[in-house]
Structure 1
Amino acid sequence: MKRICVTLLVLTIGTMSCRKFVEVEQPNQRQFKYTADFQLLLNNVSLFEISASLPMLSGDDINLETNTSLQNQLTNELQNVYTWAADYYTSDNSDAGWDQLFNQVYVCNQITTNVMGSINGTEAQKRSIYAEAQAQRAAAYLTLINLYARVYTTTGAATDPGLPLLLSPDLFVPLNRASIQKVYDQIILDLTAALPLLPDNVSNNLHPGKAAGYALLARTYLSMQRYGEAADYAAKSLSIQHTLLDLKDYVNGAKPFPRRMDNPEVIMGKKVSKPGNIDLPLSTELLNKFTPEDLRYQLFTRSGSTFQPSFTGRGSYRDKLFFGDNVSAGVSVPEMMLIQAEGLARAGKKDEAMALVNQLRQKRFLPAQYTALTAATSDEALRVVIDERRRELFGTGLRWLDQRRLSKEPALAETETRVFKGVTYTLVPGDRYVYPIPPKNIELNPEIIQNQR
């Protein structure tokens, strides 16, 4: 069967239209027909909490130049990702990120297509489940479009190829790539339609509430470089959820750091794992942006001698504060504060932007060791915000999304260089800030055209 979702367990929802006298459930088989069944699908943590991990390897948070033993531990595919190669995979390999995110889309489509006709549920329950599926579909597409399509531009979005835009669970629809603009339009449509029906409070951060809906819109508009709208939606999200952890409470083991699903800073949980489950050294460029007093440096980084195998430098310790807890790349309170601050800085409101940055940073230092940051101009404030994003969000893969959008701004774009196994690789603005679509999927679905890189 030539389809995108090559690993998904095909659900039996399609049988719900059978004639009444043959609708008999067979032993050991389960049809999804009750409203509660569709909520159970959304409760699937192993499916819906997954996000893409490869950006952790693509971005400039890490550098392997002096660690040859770690270089040799990367698979061929991961080496290709790290060196921004023309191709990452052969037709014999699957791209887990692509498959997992499109699996989320498929299950969401099953829900939106069938939940309103389900039984033993109220209209309000059905509409709530429908809205949650819309938000989850939007979140999956937002990650996919930021990996497998070019950076959004106002001049190119209407014609640049985006993604197959799947809105129904039909396994045999054409998979031609819709434009980048159409994909973003659908993300925004899903989120704005879902928002009135999303709950104010959620049972846990796997499920999107109103704060998550606004936060996803903020991240969407940030990716589109529509910074005023991004800031507005970030502010709306923060009006609902704004709790910050005070890191001084967690240094030296004073209190156990909260797990991802218990962390009040996490607005919507999405986890990423270190590619190949290999601990990697942080780049000197990133580490130099910290001062030793920064509690993020103390809590979330460790000497390379701490890790197995050991390496030179320091590595990210976020996923090891609790064994096996992984890293959260979902929308969060600090990210919303920094999106709002960036929008303010770009709008010439440098003092308001710096006030937000300092509000966040005060929770990242001991009070006696903190000195507020200042900026003389809006451009200087903008650079402060971008540096703060690096310090606050490092090790999550979100830096890759920033590198993509900033590559379109000459004043902020950077040329990246890596030395890997004695060979120098360079990533210039406008170059390979788009992942290749897995060849396996193109061979199965020839209507999907490959990215030009």
Structure 2
Amino acid sequence: MMKIIIKDYSRRITLAIAVLTLGGGIAGCEKYVDIKTQGQLTPGTIENYRYLLNNTTTFEAAPALSDMAADDLEIIDGSAQQKSLSGSDSYGYYSRSYQWADDIYPIGNQNFKDDNWSRLYNAIAYANTVIAEVPKVSDGTPAEISQLAAEAKIHRASAYLMLANTYAKPYLRESANTELGVPLILQPTTEQSLNRGTLQQVYDAILADIEAALPALPAKQQFTTLPSKASAYGLLARTYLYMNSYADAAKAADQALALNDKLVDLTKITDTTMVNYPLRIYNPEILLSKVPINGITAYSPTAFRLSKDLLSLFDGSDQRYNLFTVPGSKISAWEVYDGRYYYLDFIKNEGRNVGPSVPEMLLIKAEAAARDNQAATAMALVNRLRASRIMPGSTVNLSATDAEDALVKVMQERRREFMFRMLRWWDMRRLKNDTRFQKTYTRTFGGNTFTLAPNSNRYVFRIAQYEINLSPEIVQNP
């Protein structure tokens, strides 16, 4: 039996439920727990850190709140879905996110702990452990050691990008040095300040991790859950996009596509049971698999009903509509569910990927081209994606009258491609001050009307009061 030290962060903050440290002590409050393990694992060996990084439950975690707040979703007031949600304390976070409520996880509610926050910081805590300890292992080549540390840095960078786009304001270069980011925890110790750094500091840390990791990563990995060079460039492209650095984003997307430009041809899948659609860990167009913490939206009230606005962007020739969505009768067998619902989670019985992908790289390049007055280039990239999404004989290739029209069409394609994949909410945040896309959103739930204006603070989720109570130095979002 081996003794594994488990770091308890809970005295300070529920950043991490538990951090495994296999190579030695770290200052702070410690609990010692004996864990029986199978095989011949030895503390301080590289194999342990490989197993730690293979913990997909930890490292694939992504926030789920975005999909409930975005305009892809519509809950019809008075419907069976809305009534079920209204009567469910367990799923209160779902309806409160939909209402852009002040507090998504209020104290006194059955679910007062924000799993989005804690799971992402848990991944960071595990990553910090690998980064700090793997250089001290008793075996392993320098290349093996560097690769494991690099993988951990990519996971850490990804987690911070998701945290920043959930609990901090959208990035603007002119204000990033003064806007609050999130607590920046880069060392595996409980004894450090949890004050929120600036948004610029968070993005600087993300970019530093990616750049440091790139040289040591393999070009490809066996599973999409393991970071590779393609993953790193994909994450870099995504990061630059949400920093509004479009030329840098396009360059990184190009580097990712040079390593992997494979697309799943949906036009070749005619069976709606999707038996030929690849599992997430093998899906060739996924650069790095990440899954929302609620996983499969199997409980029918929490199913995602497509909004009228989103539905208007599809027609019957689009396989994303035909294969990934279903009528309400497929969602609930015992209640009347009208409308159309996102169903990919159910069909493959696994969570949807929200991590960087080949389609995302194509559309990042397309957006950068449109913003650079290259309408034809932008549309060629959009049409390259659509060739694997739209059935032959229909309008596969789109055209644009000018760069402005191309940009609108790129953003529409992003909505079709990434419905309920986290990015729509991120796009709403970064585009809310752009007059070309600016909009005031209105929703009704339980007879009450809720409005999201471009200048609303509700584009930033508040940090659960439970976390503030544990760590009063964390400044709450307004």
TM range (shorter): over 0.9
Alpha-carbon separation, structure 1, partners of 2:247 and 2:467? 37
Q: Match of 1:45?
A: 56
What percentage of aligned pairs have identical amino acids? 38
Q: Which runs of 4+ in 1 moved over 6 A?
A: none
Q: Match of 1:9?
A: 18
Q: Match of 2:105?
A: 89
Q: Match of 2:347?
A: 321
Following superposition, the deviation at residue 9 of structure 1 comes to 2.5
Q: Paired residue for 2:94, among 78, 88, 102?
A: 78
Say yes or no: does 1:59 pair with 2:70. yes
8 Å CA contact retained: 1:269, 1:330: yes
8 Å CA contact retained: 1:66, 1:312: no
8 Å CA contact retained: 1:301, 1:318: yes
8 Å CA contact retained: 1:218, 1:229: yes
Bigger mean CA offset, 47-56 vs 131-140: 47-56
Say yes or no: does 1:331 pair with 2:347. no
Letter paired with 2:51: L
Following superposition, the deviation at residue 121 of structure 1 comes to 1.1
Q: Match of 1:222?
A: 241
Say yes or no: does 1:160 pair with 2:179. yes
8 Å CA contact retained: 2:390, 2:396: no
8 Å CA contact retained: 1:52, 1:97: yes
Q: Match of 1:300?
A: 324
Q: Match of 1:370?
A: 395
Alpha-carbon separation, structure 1, partners of 2:373 and 2:418? 24
Q: Which runs of 5+ in 2 are unaligned?
A: 1-9, 28-32, 86-90
Q: TM-score, with normalisation over the residues of structure 1? A: 0.94
Alpha-carbon separation, structure 1, partners of 2:242 and 2:215? 23
Q: Paired residue for 1:184, among 203, 208, 217?
A: 203
**Number of corresponding residues:** 445
Alpha-carbon separation, structure 1, partners of 2:42 and 2:99? 46
Alpha-carbon separation, structure 2, partners of 1:418 and 1:160? 29
Q: Paired residue for 1:349, among 374, 390, 398?
A: 374
Following superposition, the deviation at residue 235 of structure 1 comes to 1.1
Q: Match of 1:284?
A: 308
Alpha-carbon separation, structure 2, partners of 1:336 and 1:39? 28
Letter paired with 1:436: R
Q: Paired residue for 1:382, among 397, 407, 413?
A: 407
Q: Match of 2:168?
A: 149
Following superposition, the deviation at residue 45 of structure 1 comes to 1.1
Following superposition, the deviation at residue 175 of structure 1 comes to 0.3
Q: Which runs of 5+ in 1 are unaligned?
A: 19-24
Q: TM-score, with normalisation over the residues of structure 2? A: 0.89
- Residues 1:418 and 1:61: Cα distance change in structure 2 (over 3 Å): same
- Residues 1:436 and 1:32: Cα distance change in structure 2 (over 3 Å): farther
8 Å CA contact retained: 2:362, 2:382: yes
- Residues 1:349 and 1:32: Cα distance change in structure 2 (over 3 Å): farther
Alpha-carbon separation, structure 2, partners of 1:435 and 1:311? 29
Bigger mean CA offset, 346-355 vs 272-281: 272-281
- Residues 1:444 and 1:17: Cα distance change in structure 2 (over 3 Å): closer
Alpha-carbon separation, structure 2, partners of 1:6 and 1:176? 13
Bigger mean CA offset, 128-137 vs 366-375: 366-375
Alpha-carbon separation, structure 1, partners of 2:431 and 2:35? 56
Structure richer in helix, relative to its length:
1
Alpha-carbon separation, structure 1, partners of 2:24 and 2:264? 48
Q: Paired residue for 1:211, among 224, 230, 238?
A: 230
Letter paired with 1:314: R
Q: Paired residue for 2:463, among 415, 437, 446?
A: 437
Alpha-carbon separation, structure 2, partners of 1:275 and 1:96? 16
Say yes or no: does 1:259 pair with 2:268. no
